[in-house]
Structure 1
Amino acid sequence: MENKSKEKQKEALKLYVKAKQVAYTTNTASIVETGRLSSQNIVDLSAEVQGQILPGDVILKEGTRFKKGQLLVKIFDEEARNNLKASKSRFMNGIAAILPDIKIDFPESYQKYLDFFNSLRIDRPLPELPALDSDKEKVFLASRNILNDYFSIKSAEIRLAKYKLYAPFDGTFTAVYLEPGSVANPGSRIASMIRTDKLELEVPVRSDDAYWISIGDEVHVSTKDRSVSWTGKVVRKSGFMDPASQTITVYVALSHEKSNPLYQGQYLLAEFDSKNIEHCMKIPRNAVFDKNKVFTVEQGKLKKHEIDVLRKGETTVIFTGLPEGTEVVTEPLVNAKEGFNAEILK
């Protein structure tokens, strides 16, 4: 009895629905997702030498911007500089002491060592050591500690350069751990900084969509209200899937523009290159229920069908799987069931 009353209820009800005849054509599918901006370079500024931190060309404060090549931090280097000068003075004495011996034992090499000696300056980097013409000459210089002293000074010059830390890129400080006046030790973190002229948009996309995206694809990026836009390029795709969200991250490279600045942590819309899909149809996404089912109207009644979903967009679904000419419902139906009477709105 109960089943008969349900059947009578279905016959008594009549739904007026929007429907469209299935006709397969070529449709354009686009992928639009939201991503978060991050810097291509996130770097810790660390000391490699010991000494008191002195001010550089920029203020060592969180949020301070700097340009590539600017002096960020200077560490007190007078002691190291004076030690280097003393080493160079001793080295010059050593070269001066061997010049008479070279003139006698290696007359053909005397001029190049004399020129080398004349080019030495205490306040300038050491010039290149003259090329060794023979093993005997090499043994002679080694026995007088010339080679050892030379390379020790070159090493000290490299170390002296580490007392000044220059910006490797255009960026900003995101955190400052030691300020001018503090004493830095080798390995001390002075600040954290990010690159601001080269950024990446990290866009999580569904695994099905990831197959449609290729490295090198152009991407249209905009704010959520689409008032400001940029053009980016896909530089890489993650080789693994996030198990929680079942998404794959696509990385889009963007360049900072003065007129339209970009900021790390900003959320933006990414619209990837459109793809053409042949022999398919597009309907509103809310007309599909239970992932891949739609209603059709056949002989005045609703009938449930499964479809093959090829692409899900923000508001539409591209599908195939229904015979052409079938009347497919193109709107959501609340509490509708198979067998209900239905009339198509004209």
Structure 2
Amino acid sequence: MSDRPARRLVVEADGGSRGNPGPAGYGALVRDADTGAVLAERAGAIGRATNNVAEYQGLIAGLRAAADLAPDADVEVRMDSKLVVEQMSGRWKIKHPAMRPLATQAADVAREFPRVRYTWIPRERNAHADRLANEAMDAAAQGRTWEPPEPQSPEPVPHTAPTTHRLSGWMAPPAPPTTTVLLRHGQTPMSVEKRFSGTVDATLTDIGQAQALAVAGRLRDVPFDVVYCSQLKRARQTADALGRDYLIDDDLRETDFGTWETLTFGEVRQRFPDELNAWLADPSVAPPGGESILATIRRVTAVRDRILAAHPGERILIVSHVTPIKTLTLLALDASPAVLYRLHLDLVSISTIDWYSDGPAVLRSFNDGIHAAHLVEPGQ
């Protein structure tokens, strides 16, 4: 008997219909519980059905995907359907006759694992599965079938292996990528003092203005098809130094830190210790009167989708802030929200992402600030 600890997998699943009942679809994915890497995706259009039927179909698909990867794994199922979670946990009775065979089917797959537990999560924490389900619902509404690409392997995916992604320079893309060059604004008094500065409309310092001019020189000969900018003054002042026309998009603003605005981390730790600990531990928790990390991720995802749809195959400069730029990075890497706390982004740094029409994205550079390194002390 092996003493090796059981592999731990997370299944995230969702489903829905347009009309309830109506054109329905489900989405599910499997993550490595330790790394957060996405190991498999499942989705399908199931014709006309109810939300609950689609949610159960998502659960079944996710459990089957996990069984294909590691039938001896410990599995945690996370869903925003209270009904499915409570019924599968045995706390609620299954009264609707259409649900019983689906619950039985899910239970049969679940018995293949040593342990399966079910966890309810808020909808905003189930965004990946929700996106897959909505794409499947779109297919159902058009009367077609649809499934996302999946990693293909005759053997279970190794413990540390992520899902397959484009290998930059190896795989010929179906079309030229849309390239986003992400530029953080220059120094402000708030950044010098390391204060929470989300919606506070701080202006650039003299060093910040010099940083903006330095990055303008770096980008002078780069041909951009369009420039987008946050509405906040520090971002607009940085964009102004570039000498280019730009479009304002409010969804590129920084996270709203609520009552923590203008405070240092130490001051927040002293005045709001419980709230700060909760915020650091759970991306769905917002600062008092502010915006959660997950809310920021949803907002930035929406603006990303709008910009990519409007400018396919173009080169786009985006002047923004720490959290939106980190969010675009984690979206490109298909990473968990915890990655935001592990990335450092310098003032007027440049990051570049290629977005491909067939789904994958490639992070080409991150936090490149060599053009302004001489203008500020390390850490500022």
Higher helix content, 1 or 2: 2
Q: Which category of TM-score, normalised to the shorter sequence, fits these structures?
A: under 0.3
Higher strand content, 1 or 2: 1
The normalised TM-score by structure 1 is: 0.21
> Who wins on radius of gyration, i.e. which is larger?
1
